[in-house]
Structure 1
């Protein structure tokens, strides 16, 4: 995808959704960090369902430590890998209290040293909480970037680096949200809905998926 097409891609998505946000529910930066850790290999819908009651009770790392690992498990037992995730959340909460005064550090490299926090998680927190121009490459972004021809790479890190190089202002902060939402609701894994895609003419994917009978673009 050429430079002008990339600009137009995001311009159209921004026109449709001027202020994109994560679909994870949270009340502060710490809750965002916990939600993103819990979302690994899980859906945002499933995480939100598990954390609504949890986040009414727990708003700080200290409160999470007080709740304890077993108490946390009771809240998140509907989420995949909940045992290991509970262990990581308690461990990272202890580190935040001990080393950072209970605050989430605004530093990607530091965040990735926390239990359960990989580069993608750190990128989400940096973007959503601190407004950093980061590109959190999940399965949706990886698919959209490769399928459209915007940033073709064999690994999430390769795609991330290409996006960082190619995504222009003023779309850099919101770009990963637009791509996730586009991949989640239109550019789906099995059957992309090209027939109702606002950027289909800019996309390298072929053949374009035709509209099902009776569907309206």
Structure 2
């Protein structure tokens, strides 16, 4: 994708959704951190369902430590890998209480030292909580970046580095939100809905699907045991 195409790509995404936000639900930076840790290999919908009641009870790292690992598991047992995630959330909460006065550090490198917090999680927190121009590359961003030709790379780190280099102002702050939402709802893995994509003209994908699939006809069949005429 050429420089002019990239600018128009993001201009159109911004026009279509001027104020994109994460779909995770939270009331403060600590809850955001916990929600993002829990969202690994899970859907935002599933995480939100599990955390609504949890976040009514827990607003701070100290409260999470008081809840304890077993108590946390009861809240998040519907989420994949909940055992290891509960262990990490309690451990990172203890560190925040002990070393950071209960506050989430505003530094990506420091965030990645916390249990269960990788670079993608740190990028999300830096962007959503602190307004940093970071590019969190999840499966949606990775797919969209490669498929459209925006940032083609074989690894997450390569795609992130290319996005860092290629995404222009004034779109850098919200870029990863637009890419996530595009991948989640339009540029889907198995069946991209190119016919309704706002950036189809800028996209370099060669196998564009420009018409919705025809609805399969439903044939009338006899019910089991029905007699022939």
Pair in the same fold by TM > 0.5: yes
Q: Which residue of structure 1 aligns with residue 22 of structure 2? A: 22
Encode CA deviations 1:178-204: one digit per residue, 9 max, x unaligned: 000000000000010011111111111
Q: Which residue of structure 2 aligns with residue 156 of structure 1? A: 156
Q: Greater CA radius of gyration, 1 or 2?
A: 2
Summarize the alignment of residues 148-187 of structure 1 with structure 2, pairs less than 5 Å apart: 148-187=148-187
Displacement, 1:212? 2.2
Stretch of structure 1 that moved more, 199-208 or 102-111: 199-208
* Secondary structure of 1:128 counterpart: helix
Asked if 1:137 is matched to 2:137, the reply is yes
Summarize the alignment of residues 42-57 of structure 1 with structure 2, pairs less than 5 Å apart: 42-57=42-57
Q: Structure 2: how far apart are the matches of 1:214 and 1:83?
A: 43
Q: Which residue of structure 2 aligns with residue 91 of structure 1? A: 91
TM-score w.r.t. length of structure 2: 0.93
* Secondary structure of 2:201 counterpart: helix
Displacement, 1:207? 1.6
Q: Structure 1: how far apart are the matches of 2:62 and 2:179?
A: 35
* Secondary structure of 1:93 counterpart: helix
Encode CA deviations 1:68-87: one digit per residue, 9 max, x unaligned: 00000000000000000000
- Structure 1 stretches of at least 4 aligned residues deviating more than 3 Å after TM superposition: none
Q: Structure 2: how far apart are the matches of 1:153 and 1:194?
A: 22
RMSD across aligned positions (CA):
1.0
Structure 1 residues 18 and 92: CA distance shift in structure 2, 3 A: same
Q: Structure 1: how far apart are the matches of 2:102 and 2:42?
A: 26
Displacement, 1:206? 1.2
TM-score w.r.t. length of structure 1: 0.98
Summarize the alignment of residues 194-205 of structure 1 with structure 2, pairs less than 5 Å apart: 194-205=194-205
Encode CA deviations 1:83-120: one digit per residue, 9 max, x unaligned: 00000000000000000000000000000000000000
Encode CA deviations 1:119-153: one digit per residue, 9 max, x unaligned: 00000000000000000000000000000001000
Q: Which residue of structure 2 aligns with residue 75 of structure 1? A: 75
Q: Structure 1: how far apart are the matches of 2:140 and 2:13?
A: 15
Contact 2:186 2:194 in 1 (8 A): yes
Q: Which residue of structure 1 aligns with residue 227 of structure 2? A: none
* Secondary structure of 2:177 counterpart: helix
Contact 2:60 2:102 in 1 (8 A): yes
Q: Which residue of structure 1 aligns with residue 219 of structure 2? A: none
Unaligned runs of 5+ in 2: 216-229
Q: Structure 1: how far apart are the matches of 2:58 and 2:10?
A: 37
Structure number having the greater helix percentage: 1
Q: Structure 2: how far apart are the matches of 1:213 and 1:207?
A: 14
Unaligned runs of 5+ in 1: none
